Amino acid sequence: MIAVVSLFFWALSIGANQERAKIDEERLAVMKVATEMTPLASMLVDSTITELPESKSDTINVKQDLIDLVAYLESQAVLYENEKRPDAAGHVLFIKETDSLFDQAKELRKEAIRRINDIEIEMDSISWQSTLAIVLVSEPKEKFKAYSEYIDKIEGYENKENARHLKEAEDRIESLNDLLEDYNWIEASTKSTVTSYFKYIESNLQEDPESDNSQNINNALEQIKKGKTGWIYAGYKNGNDQFDPTRSIVKMVYRPDTNIGSNNYKIPQNGDFVTLRGKADRAVYNFFVGNQVTNKKGAPFKSGKMAYVIDKVELANDAIFLQIKYGKIDKSD
């Protein structure tokens, strides 16, 4: 009986050793793949890497290699004594054991993550210094753009805490918002053209109508209504109550409270903004009498500029004429 029991436990021992040997063999294979993923792997274990690569592209490549390495190690179940257990942040927790291969994998992962953080902190410092170099010599709009681009880069960080200047950038953007509102209005009113006021309105199309700048939008519209006044030929409509694409001179670009595509052929109505489809300037006339325009004005409606529609005439032959506000704001016009 004793011999049978001894034989049973001997067999269990043989089976356990065979299973252990299989696991060791699999772990050896995993570590071989890991060390071949990047030349840095074996050096990382010995902590022999002390300097970052010199070029930005090399730094980015090294970081990605390390990210891939960590992901690979965390994906190999054979490195774990039991099943993988993620922590609250979703990172894999290694389960402690004495196996030397496991210890090596754990140290490799730990050192790779440390180096990823070092790289991101160094890159963040370089990015911030570049941002400051721009804002020191820039107008408010460019400053806003520079801070925004710095924040956008942080989206690519593995660890957002490595962005040492995120809070400062967010604070400066917030302070620039109010400044930019005043700046944009000053820029529009200084140029004082239908186009400059339209650009001001266009920059606020996504804003809440109840926002603080709504009064300035109304002011912009009031200034536009003081622009030069005249009549232009706009094109012919087709049977669908839209412009005939082959005979359309103007294009509607904005209608309040409406999402208008850039390639539309909608016939403008009062309160719409329009521009010319072609590159040539178009003549503007002072009067519309009977079924024709008369008294050509000296200032044409220029290609690439904006006009504000205040009236429309449709003739029996489907020709359409628009009365517009355009050009430099001139109260005496």
User: If we measure between CA atoms, which residue out of 92, 76, 167, 99 comes closest to residue 128?
Assistant: 167
Q: What is the pTM of this model?
A: 0.49
Average pLDDT over residues 60-73: 79
Give me the percent of the chain exceeding a pLDDT of 70.
67
pLDDT score of 181 more than 80: no
Domain stop point among 88, 109, 135: 135
pLDDT score of 241 more than 80: no
Average pLDDT over residues 287-313: 86
Count Cα neighbours of 287 within 13 Å in the Cβ-side half-sphere: 4
| Domain coverage including residue 224 | 214-329
Average pLDDT over residues 86-105: 54
Domain stop point among 135, 163, 194: 135
pLDDT score of 220 more than 60: yes
pLDDT score of 10 more than 50: no
Domain stop point among 135, 157, 189: 135
Residue 58, in any domain of the structure: yes
How many structural domains compose the chain? 2
pLDDT score of 97 more than 70: no
Highest mean pLDDT among 119-128, 194-203, 205-214, 246-255: 119-128
User: If we measure between CA atoms, which residue out of 84, 53, 79 comes closest to residue 66?
Assistant: 53
